[in-house]
Protein backbone atom coordinates (compact mmCIF):
# COMPACT_ATOMS: atom_id res chain seq x y z
CA UNK A 1 0.00 0.00 0.00
CA UNK A 2 1.17 3.52 -0.85
CA UNK A 3 2.53 5.82 1.86
CA UNK A 4 2.05 9.57 2.08
CA UNK A 5 5.14 11.19 0.49
CA UNK A 6 5.74 13.59 3.41
CA UNK A 7 4.57 11.73 6.51
CA UNK A 8 5.30 8.14 5.49
CA UNK A 9 1.91 7.03 6.86
CA UNK A 10 -0.67 4.79 5.22
CA UNK A 11 -4.04 6.30 6.17
CA UNK A 12 -7.10 4.14 6.81
CA UNK A 13 -10.66 5.45 7.17
CA UNK A 14 -12.59 2.68 8.98
CA UNK A 15 -16.35 3.00 9.14
CA UNK A 16 -19.60 1.02 9.00
CA UNK A 17 -21.26 0.75 5.60
CA UNK A 18 -24.90 1.01 6.64
CA UNK A 19 -27.40 3.81 7.24
CA UNK A 20 -26.09 7.37 7.27
CA UNK A 21 -22.50 6.07 6.93
CA UNK A 22 -23.18 5.07 3.31
CA UNK A 23 -22.65 8.60 2.02
CA UNK A 24 -19.51 9.07 4.10
CA UNK A 25 -18.14 5.80 2.73
CA UNK A 26 -18.81 6.98 -0.83
CA UNK A 27 -17.15 10.36 -0.22
CA UNK A 28 -13.95 8.84 1.14
CA UNK A 29 -13.93 6.08 -1.50
CA UNK A 30 -13.93 8.76 -4.19
CA UNK A 31 -11.18 10.65 -2.33
CA UNK A 32 -9.10 7.45 -2.11
CA UNK A 33 -9.12 7.19 -5.90
CA UNK A 34 -7.49 10.64 -6.01
CA UNK A 35 -5.18 10.16 -3.00
CA UNK A 36 -3.32 6.84 -3.32
CA UNK A 37 -2.14 6.83 0.30
CA UNK A 38 -5.75 6.95 1.62
CA UNK A 39 -7.62 3.67 2.15
CA UNK A 40 -11.30 3.12 3.05
CA UNK A 41 -12.10 -0.08 4.92
CA UNK A 42 -15.13 -1.66 6.54
CA UNK A 43 -15.16 -1.72 10.34
CA UNK A 44 -15.48 -5.51 10.25
CA UNK A 45 -12.36 -5.73 8.07
CA UNK A 46 -10.51 -3.55 10.56
CA UNK A 47 -11.55 -5.84 13.40
CA UNK A 48 -10.03 -8.76 11.46
CA UNK A 49 -6.84 -6.86 10.73
CA UNK A 50 -6.54 -5.93 14.39
CA UNK A 51 -5.83 -9.59 15.16
CA UNK A 52 -2.84 -9.50 12.79
CA UNK A 53 0.32 -8.26 14.48
CA UNK A 54 1.86 -7.36 11.11
CA UNK A 55 -0.84 -4.67 10.81
CA UNK A 56 -1.07 -3.25 14.33
CA UNK A 57 2.69 -3.43 14.93
CA UNK A 58 3.42 -1.34 11.83
CA UNK A 59 4.09 2.23 12.98
CA UNK A 60 3.36 3.50 9.46
CA UNK A 61 -0.35 2.65 9.77
CA UNK A 62 -2.65 5.50 10.87
CA UNK A 63 -6.26 4.42 11.44
CA UNK A 64 -9.26 6.76 11.79
CA UNK A 65 -12.23 4.90 13.30
CA UNK A 66 -15.55 6.63 12.61
CA UNK A 67 -17.17 5.12 15.66
CA UNK A 68 -16.03 3.75 19.01
CA UNK A 69 -17.12 0.16 18.33
CA UNK A 70 -13.95 -1.23 16.77
CA UNK A 71 -12.09 -3.90 18.76
CA UNK A 72 -8.55 -2.52 19.14
CA UNK A 73 -5.31 -4.21 20.15
CA UNK A 74 -4.13 -3.05 23.60
CA UNK A 75 -2.00 0.11 23.45
CA UNK A 76 1.01 -1.60 25.01
CA UNK A 77 1.01 -4.23 22.23
CA UNK A 78 0.74 -2.02 19.14
CA UNK A 79 2.78 0.47 17.13
CA UNK A 80 0.04 1.64 14.72
CA UNK A 81 -1.90 4.81 15.59
CA UNK A 82 -5.65 4.60 16.24
CA UNK A 83 -7.84 7.72 16.40
CA UNK A 84 -11.60 7.90 16.78
CA UNK A 85 -14.05 10.53 15.53
CA UNK A 86 -16.71 12.10 17.75
CA UNK A 87 -19.37 13.99 15.81
CA UNK A 88 -22.54 13.56 17.87
CA UNK A 89 -24.40 16.26 19.78
CA UNK A 90 -22.41 17.78 22.63
CA UNK A 91 -22.60 20.57 25.18
CA UNK A 92 -20.55 21.35 28.27
CA UNK A 93 -23.89 21.34 30.11
CA UNK A 94 -24.75 17.64 29.84
CA UNK A 95 -28.33 18.29 30.93
CA UNK A 96 -28.94 19.84 27.51
CA UNK A 97 -28.28 16.50 25.79
CA UNK A 98 -31.28 14.30 25.15
CA UNK A 99 -31.32 10.81 26.67
CA UNK A 100 -30.01 9.03 23.56
CA UNK A 101 -27.04 11.39 23.23
CA UNK A 102 -26.19 11.07 26.94
CA UNK A 103 -26.17 7.28 26.52
CA UNK A 104 -23.97 7.56 23.42
CA UNK A 105 -21.58 9.86 25.27
CA UNK A 106 -21.28 7.39 28.17
CA UNK A 107 -20.40 4.56 25.75
CA UNK A 108 -17.77 6.71 24.03
CA UNK A 109 -16.16 7.76 27.32
CA UNK A 110 -15.97 4.13 28.43
CA UNK A 111 -14.07 3.17 25.25
CA UNK A 112 -11.99 6.33 24.80
CA UNK A 113 -8.88 5.07 26.58
CA UNK A 114 -8.41 2.45 23.84
CA UNK A 115 -7.55 5.21 21.33
CA UNK A 116 -4.47 7.38 20.89
CA UNK A 117 -6.39 10.52 20.00
CA UNK A 118 -9.65 12.02 18.88
CA UNK A 119 -10.93 13.98 15.90
CA UNK A 120 -13.89 16.37 16.06
CA UNK A 121 -15.40 18.59 13.38
CA UNK A 122 -14.78 22.06 14.86
CA UNK A 123 -12.05 23.67 17.01
CA UNK A 124 -14.44 24.15 19.95
CA UNK A 125 -15.56 20.51 19.79
CA UNK A 126 -11.96 19.28 19.57
CA UNK A 127 -10.99 21.29 22.64
CA UNK A 128 -14.08 20.52 24.73
CA UNK A 129 -14.63 16.86 23.89
CA UNK A 130 -10.96 15.90 24.11
CA UNK A 131 -10.70 17.56 27.52
CA UNK A 132 -13.78 15.68 28.75
CA UNK A 133 -12.47 12.35 27.40
CA UNK A 134 -8.84 12.86 28.39
CA UNK A 135 -7.48 12.36 24.86
CA UNK A 136 -5.43 14.56 22.53
CA UNK A 137 -7.95 16.33 20.29
CA UNK A 138 -7.68 17.53 16.71
CA UNK A 139 -9.98 19.08 14.11
CA UNK A 140 -11.10 17.04 11.09
CA UNK A 141 -13.91 18.52 9.00
CA UNK A 142 -15.35 16.20 6.35
CA UNK A 143 -15.36 18.83 3.63
CA UNK A 144 -17.42 19.14 0.47
CA UNK A 145 -17.23 17.81 -3.07
CA UNK A 146 -17.09 20.33 -5.89
CA UNK A 147 -19.36 20.21 -8.92
CA UNK A 148 -21.65 22.35 -11.07
CA UNK A 149 -25.17 22.96 -9.74
CA UNK A 150 -28.00 24.83 -11.44
CA UNK A 151 -29.92 26.58 -8.64
CA UNK A 152 -32.47 28.40 -10.79
CA UNK A 153 -34.86 25.50 -11.45
CA UNK A 154 -35.03 23.60 -8.18
CA UNK A 155 -38.40 22.06 -7.31
CA UNK A 156 -38.40 22.71 -3.57
CA UNK A 157 -37.51 25.79 -1.58
CA UNK A 158 -36.55 23.80 1.54
CA UNK A 159 -35.64 20.20 2.35
CA UNK A 160 -35.64 18.45 5.74
CA UNK A 161 -34.35 14.96 6.52
CA UNK A 162 -33.31 13.78 9.95
CA UNK A 163 -34.14 11.68 12.98
CA UNK A 164 -37.43 12.40 14.68
CA UNK A 165 -36.47 12.88 18.32
CA UNK A 166 -36.28 15.71 20.86
CA UNK A 167 -37.69 19.05 19.83
CA UNK A 168 -37.84 17.92 16.22
CA UNK A 169 -40.99 15.98 17.15
CA UNK A 170 -42.94 19.23 17.50
CA UNK A 171 -40.89 21.79 15.54
CA UNK A 172 -40.69 19.95 12.21
CA UNK A 173 -44.43 19.12 11.92
CA UNK A 174 -45.36 22.71 12.78
CA UNK A 175 -42.92 24.15 10.24
CA UNK A 176 -44.17 21.65 7.64
CA UNK A 177 -47.75 22.75 8.24
CA UNK A 178 -46.77 26.42 7.98
CA UNK A 179 -44.64 26.09 4.83
CA UNK A 180 -46.82 23.45 3.16
CA UNK A 181 -45.58 22.84 -0.41
CA UNK A 182 -42.39 24.87 0.14
CA UNK A 183 -40.86 22.17 2.38
CA UNK A 184 -40.04 18.60 1.35
CA UNK A 185 -39.82 16.36 4.42
CA UNK A 186 -38.30 12.89 3.90
CA UNK A 187 -36.89 10.41 6.41
CA UNK A 188 -34.77 7.23 6.25
CA UNK A 189 -33.00 7.84 2.94
CA UNK A 190 -29.23 7.72 2.59
CA UNK A 191 -26.36 7.88 0.12
CA UNK A 192 -27.07 8.78 -3.50
CA UNK A 193 -30.84 8.67 -2.95
CA UNK A 194 -30.47 11.32 -0.25
CA UNK A 195 -28.22 13.50 -2.42
CA UNK A 196 -30.58 13.28 -5.37
CA UNK A 197 -33.49 14.55 -3.25
CA UNK A 198 -31.43 17.27 -1.58
CA UNK A 199 -30.19 18.52 -4.96
CA UNK A 200 -33.81 19.37 -5.88
CA UNK A 201 -33.98 22.00 -3.12
CA UNK A 202 -32.45 25.40 -2.41
CA UNK A 203 -32.25 25.31 1.38
CA UNK A 204 -31.32 22.43 3.69
CA UNK A 205 -33.20 22.87 6.97
CA UNK A 206 -31.36 21.88 10.15
CA UNK A 207 -33.36 21.57 13.39
CA UNK A 208 -31.42 20.57 16.51
CA UNK A 209 -32.44 17.59 18.68
CA UNK A 210 -32.02 19.83 21.73
CA UNK A 211 -30.55 23.23 22.53
CA UNK A 212 -26.89 22.20 22.57
CA UNK A 213 -23.97 24.26 21.33
CA UNK A 214 -22.61 21.63 18.93
CA UNK A 215 -23.62 21.91 15.31
CA UNK A 216 -24.33 19.28 12.68
CA UNK A 217 -21.42 20.20 10.41
CA UNK A 218 -22.20 17.09 8.36
CA UNK A 219 -25.19 19.05 7.03
CA UNK A 220 -22.91 21.95 6.04
CA UNK A 221 -20.94 19.66 3.74
CA UNK A 222 -24.05 17.95 2.38
CA UNK A 223 -25.51 21.35 1.52
CA UNK A 224 -22.35 22.62 -0.17
CA UNK A 225 -21.86 19.39 -2.12
CA UNK A 226 -25.33 19.66 -3.64
CA UNK A 227 -25.34 23.44 -4.18
CA UNK A 228 -27.81 24.16 -1.35
CA UNK A 229 -27.55 26.71 1.39
CA UNK A 230 -27.78 25.55 4.99
CA UNK A 231 -30.77 26.91 6.94
CA UNK A 232 -30.24 26.42 10.65
CA UNK A 233 -30.62 27.41 14.26
CA UNK A 234 -27.47 29.02 15.75
CA UNK A 235 -24.64 26.98 17.23
CA UNK A 236 -20.98 26.13 16.79
CA UNK A 237 -21.24 26.64 13.03
CA UNK A 238 -17.51 26.79 12.16
CA UNK A 239 -16.34 27.24 9.42
CA UNK A 240 -19.52 29.11 8.48
CA UNK A 241 -18.20 32.21 10.21
CA UNK A 242 -20.28 34.60 8.14
CA UNK A 243 -24.08 34.78 8.03
CA UNK A 244 -23.57 35.44 4.33
CA UNK A 245 -22.82 31.72 4.11
CA UNK A 246 -26.07 30.37 5.60
CA UNK A 247 -29.55 31.41 6.67
CA UNK A 248 -29.35 31.70 10.45
CA UNK A 249 -32.64 31.13 12.27
CA UNK A 250 -33.56 31.93 15.87
CA UNK A 251 -33.36 29.04 18.34
CA UNK A 252 -36.68 27.24 18.00
CA UNK A 253 -39.02 27.23 21.00
CA UNK A 254 -42.74 26.41 21.01
CA UNK A 255 -43.65 30.09 21.18
CA UNK A 256 -41.74 31.19 18.06
CA UNK A 257 -42.34 28.40 15.53
CA UNK A 258 -44.73 30.56 13.51
CA UNK A 259 -42.22 33.43 13.55
CA UNK A 260 -39.49 31.11 12.24
CA UNK A 261 -41.91 29.80 9.62
CA UNK A 262 -42.58 33.38 8.56
CA UNK A 263 -38.83 34.04 8.18
CA UNK A 264 -38.51 30.96 5.98
CA UNK A 265 -41.52 31.91 3.89
CA UNK A 266 -40.45 35.54 3.42
CA UNK A 267 -36.84 34.70 2.49
CA UNK A 268 -36.75 34.84 -1.29
CA UNK A 269 -35.25 32.20 -3.55
CA UNK A 270 -32.81 34.86 -4.77
CA UNK A 271 -31.47 35.36 -1.22
CA UNK A 272 -31.02 31.60 -0.78
CA UNK A 273 -29.13 31.38 -4.08
CA UNK A 274 -26.88 34.30 -3.09
CA UNK A 275 -26.00 32.63 0.22
CA UNK A 276 -25.37 29.25 -1.43
CA UNK A 277 -22.98 30.81 -3.95
CA UNK A 278 -21.24 32.87 -1.24
CA UNK A 279 -20.69 29.74 0.88
CA UNK A 280 -19.15 27.79 -1.98
CA UNK A 281 -16.91 30.75 -2.83
CA UNK A 282 -15.92 31.40 0.78
CA UNK A 283 -15.18 27.77 1.69
CA UNK A 284 -12.89 26.80 -1.18
CA UNK A 285 -10.27 25.69 1.34
CA UNK A 286 -12.66 23.08 2.81
CA UNK A 287 -13.11 20.61 -0.01
CA UNK A 288 -12.76 16.94 0.99
CA UNK A 289 -9.22 16.58 -0.34
CA UNK A 290 -8.04 19.83 1.27
CA UNK A 291 -9.54 18.84 4.64
CA UNK A 292 -7.63 15.56 4.50
CA UNK A 293 -4.36 17.27 3.53
CA UNK A 294 -4.72 20.31 5.83
CA UNK A 295 -6.19 18.67 8.96
CA UNK A 296 -5.68 14.89 9.01
CA UNK A 297 -2.11 14.87 7.71
CA UNK A 298 -0.71 17.59 10.06
CA UNK A 299 -2.41 15.98 13.07
CA UNK A 300 -0.86 12.62 12.27
CA UNK A 301 2.64 14.14 12.26
CA UNK A 302 2.35 14.61 16.01
CA UNK A 303 2.34 10.82 16.32
CA UNK A 304 5.76 10.51 14.69
pLDDT cut 70: percent of the chain above it: 100
What pLDDT sits at residue 41? Answer: 94
State the Cα–Cα distance between residues 284 and 143, nearest whole angstrom.
10
Strands 10-15 and 38-42: parallel
DSSP per residue over 181-222, as a string?
GGEEE--S--HHHHHHHHTTEEEEEE--SSS-S---HHHHHH
What pLDDT sits at residue 218? Answer: 84
pLDDT in tens, 81-125: 999 999 888 888 888 888 888 888 888 888 888 899 999 999 999
Edge-to-edge strands of the sheet including 229-232?
183-185, 156-160, 201-206, 229-232, 247-248
* Confidence bin at 282 (pLDDT 50/70/90): very high
246 in helix, strand or coil? Answer: coil
Across the chain, what does the average pLDDT equal? 91
Q: Which residues pair with 230 in a beta bridge?
A: 204
Domain range annotation of the chain: 10-143+287-301, 156-283
Task: Note the maximum CA span of the chain.
Answer: 61
| Domains 10-143+287-301 and 156-283 alike in fold | yes
Spatial CA neighbour of 4 closest among 50, 61, 81:
61
What pLDDT sits at residue 99? Answer: 84
pLDDT in tens, 185-194: 887 778 888 8
* Confidence bin at 297 (pLDDT 50/70/90): very high
State the Cα–Cα distance between residues 10 and 98, nearest whole angstrom.
38
What pTM does this model have? Answer: 0.92
Spatial CA neighbour of 86 closest among 45, 120, 39, 52:
120
Architecture of domain 156-283: 3-Layer(aba) Sandwich (3.40)
Q: Please state the separation of Cα 251 from the chain's center in Å.
A: 21
State the Cα–Cα distance between residues 201 and 219, nearest whole angstrom.
14
**Can you name the CATH fold of 10-143+287-301?**
Rossmann fold (3.40.50)
Residue 140 has pLDDT above 80, yes or no: yes
Amino acid sequence: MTKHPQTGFRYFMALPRGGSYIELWQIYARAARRLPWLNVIDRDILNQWNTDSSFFNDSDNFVVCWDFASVLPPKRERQASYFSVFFEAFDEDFQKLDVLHREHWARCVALASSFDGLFCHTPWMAESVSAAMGLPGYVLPIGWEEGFHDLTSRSWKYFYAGSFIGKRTWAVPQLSAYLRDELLHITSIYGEEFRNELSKSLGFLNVFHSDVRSFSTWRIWQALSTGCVLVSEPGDSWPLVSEDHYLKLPTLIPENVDDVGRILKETSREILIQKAEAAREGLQDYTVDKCIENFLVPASLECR
